[in-house]
Amino acid sequence: MYRVLLVDDEPLARMGLRETFDWEGSGYRVVGEASNGRSALPWIERGEVDILITDIAMPVMDGMELMRQVRESFPSVKIILLSCHSDFAYVREGIRMGATDYLLKPTMQPTDLKEVLDKARSQAEEERRIRDLVEHREQVRRREELEKAFARLLLGEGTEESAAVEPPWLASGYRAVVAELDGAARLRSEEGGIYTEILMEELQESFYEEYGGEGIALRVGAEQLILVLKSTDGLERLQAKAAERGCTLTLGVSGPAAGAVDFRRAVREGREAARLRFYEGPGAVRPYRAEPGGGGAPQSGRGAKEPQEALLAALEAQTAGGRAEEAASLLDELAALWSEQRPSPAEVKRQARGLLAALRRPADAGSEAAERIEALQGMESLEEVRLLLQEALRSLQEPGEPAAVPEDAGLHRRIVSQALQYLGANYTRNISLQDVADHVAVSRNYFSELFKKVTGQNFIDHLIHLRLEHACGLLRTTTLRVYEVAELSGFNDVKYFSKAFKKVMKVSPADYREKRPSAGEEGT
């Protein structure tokens, strides 16, 4: 409700204004009355006034001087002048100085007052909108400047640049928190890379909403944020924001750091702590522990690798000799050694790839082996890797099948071509990766890998681009509302549609429609 101050040296005039208009019902509240400009100023100085209605001719301080002082010191206050016919020269001067409008006291009606008040309110709302937009853009500019400086610092560059923009709170102490998106491979496969990017942008924005000006959030890769913050209070709320979006975050928290000089060390500690997800599970806040066996550096030197390499060689020998029970026992022993020594996830996966190659049957030249290798890359826990290797070992013990003819590139292209035809006819329907894989009679994981190999694009992202192209056509050629365009293009959520559209097209659906590009300009 907008607050109004009435200023007039005539008590009857003030009473008439107050009593003949439904202030509350019209969305306004009279906060006070004053008989001259000087007595009106305290209300304005206390920030209690949005709209000032003032007479021009008054003793002590007239309306023109009051207006001059208010415009100079409190420009957001809207001013409406009250005048008689003889004051019209002053009215013109007042309008020139920035008054919203004026009212003639002898002929003023309640409808006139409402019209002018609503005009003042509209001006105030528009100015506030512009002011908020300018302030937001300035915040974003400063934020991006900081992010770029610290991204360069992370690469070992720009020390002087980062010092120039270093926020004051950084010198007094901070923590680096590495936020890893859990289940990222599954999300990319099921929802697409565009969805994952939007999700990480939303989480980055949630961080800034939580920490305001005392935090920095860097996007690193597709599924990681590096957070720099003065206090770790509020990390649980950030995880809650992720849960609202149907995902979880593992947060690795560094030890104390101070100044830009400690930044790379703090990030390294945060990453080492976050890496414990591979051994201890996702979705937790994990502080860095420097002591051996803690969240510090894993044992990955040559001395640590030698027992692992020896077990790998023995396991491969048992597999080649057909000694399944001995091989299974050695696999359990290797998994226990990994768990104890905690090499990096990349090292575990390197060794696991070698084992998968050793465990592959000669007949298994196609989809099954490829699926396992593809699945291994996205695994986030040691238990997942162990189960995958156990599955490969069990499949080796099953009766052999006739050697398969290796799949050629022509067959791959035919499968994907058939899938693209199906997509072209059905992309506006609620179809999934599994639906298309069933249509071309291959497994879901194998089709996902094959589609990306042939087209160079994730299946879901390709589907989203098809839908966005269709949406562009509807926006150009129809007057359908945005939510109707989203629904007819295959999107169930108009909010996600708008974000995906802006992510790919670089403009909102409404702005795209307004610009109405020609067919040659619309590429996605």
Q: Is residue 432 part of a domain?
A: yes
Sign of CA dihedral 342, 346, 347, 349: positive
Q: In the prediction, which pLDDT does 6 show? A: 95
Q: Is residue 158 part of a domain?
A: no
Q: Is residue 374 part of a domain?
A: yes
Structural domain of 491: 409-521
Same domain assignment for residues 279 and 313: no
- Between CA 101 and CA 118 the distance in angstroms is 11
- CATH code, domain carrying 502: 1.10.10.60
Q: What are phi and psi of 28, to 5 degrees?
A: -130, 160
Same domain assignment for residues 372 and 413: no
Q: In the prediction, which pLDDT does 80 show? A: 94
Q: Is residue 421 part of a domain?
A: yes
- CATH code, domain carrying 96: 3.40.50.2300
Same domain assignment for residues 505 and 429: yes
Residue with tokens 């060794």: 351
pTM: 0.70
* Closest listed residue to residue 78, CA positions, set 127, 9, 29: 127
Identify whether the C-beta of residue 474 lies closer than 8 Å to the C-beta of residue 512: no
Last residue of a domain, one of 342, 364, 397: 397
Identify whether the C-beta of residue 119 lies closer than 8 Å to the C-beta of residue 230: no
Q: In the prediction, which pLDDT does 367 show? A: 57
Residue with tokens 């509020």: 234
**DSSP label at residue 174:** B
Same domain assignment for residues 246 and 325: no
* Closest listed residue to residue 206, CA positions, set 186, 225, 230, 231: 225
Q: In the prediction, which pLDDT does 481 show? A: 93
Q: Is residue 142 part of a domain?
A: no
- CATH code, domain carrying 244: 3.30.70.270
Task: Kindly report the number of other CB atoms within 10 A of residue 515's CB atom.
Answer: 11
Q: Which amino acid is at 371?
A: E
Same domain assignment for residues 393 and 425: no
Same domain assignment for residues 13 and 116: yes
- pLDDT tens over the chain, length 524 residues: 999 999 999 999 899 898 989 999 999 999 999 999 999 999 999 999 999 999 988 999 999 999 999 999 999 999 999 887 666 788 888 888 889 998 888 888 899 999 999 999 999 999 999 998 998 888 888 888 888 888 888 888 766 555 566 788 888 899 999 999 999 888 887 788 888 999 999 999 888 888 877 889 999 888 899 999 988 888 888 899 899 988 999 999 999 999 888 999 999 999 999 999 999 999 999 999 876 544 454 555 545 566 777 877 877 777 666 677 788 888 888 899 999 989 889 999 998 988 887 776 555 545 566 778 878 888 999 999 999 988 888 876 665 544 444 555 678 888 989 999 999 999 999 888 889 999 999 888 788 888 888 888 889 899 999 999 999 999 999 999 999 999 999 999 999 999 999 999 999 999 998 886 544 444 44
Same domain assignment for residues 107 and 39: yes
* Closest listed residue to residue 249, CA positions, set 310, 190, 157, 184: 184
Give, in degrees to the nearest 5, the angle at Cα 319 between 313 and 325.
110
Same domain assignment for residues 114 and 193: no
Q: Is residue 188 part of a domain?
A: yes
First to last CA, the chain: 45
Q: In the prediction, which pLDDT does 518 show? A: 47
Same domain assignment for residues 425 and 340: no
Last residue of a domain, one of 221, 252, 287: 287
Q: In the prediction, which pLDDT does 364 show? A: 52
Q: Spell 174-212 as b/e; 16+ CB within 10 A means b.
A: bbbbbbbbbbbbebbbebbbbbbbbbbeebbebbeeebe
Q: In the prediction, which pLDDT does 85 show? A: 65
**DSSP label at residue 114:** H
E strands of 270-333, at which residues? 285-287
User: How many domains does the structure of the chain reveal?
Assistant: 4
Same domain assignment for residues 107 and 182: no
Q: In the prediction, which pLDDT does 402 show? A: 47
Q: Is residue 292 part of a domain?
A: no
Same domain assignment for residues 98 and 16: yes
Last residue of a domain, one of 372, 397, 422: 397
Q: Is residue 149 part of a domain?
A: no
- Between CA 337 and CA 357 the distance in angstroms is 21
- Between CA 139 and CA 167 the distance in angstroms is 13
**DSSP label at residue 398:** S
What is the pairing mode between strands 2-7 and 28-34?
parallel
Same domain assignment for residues 120 and 175: no
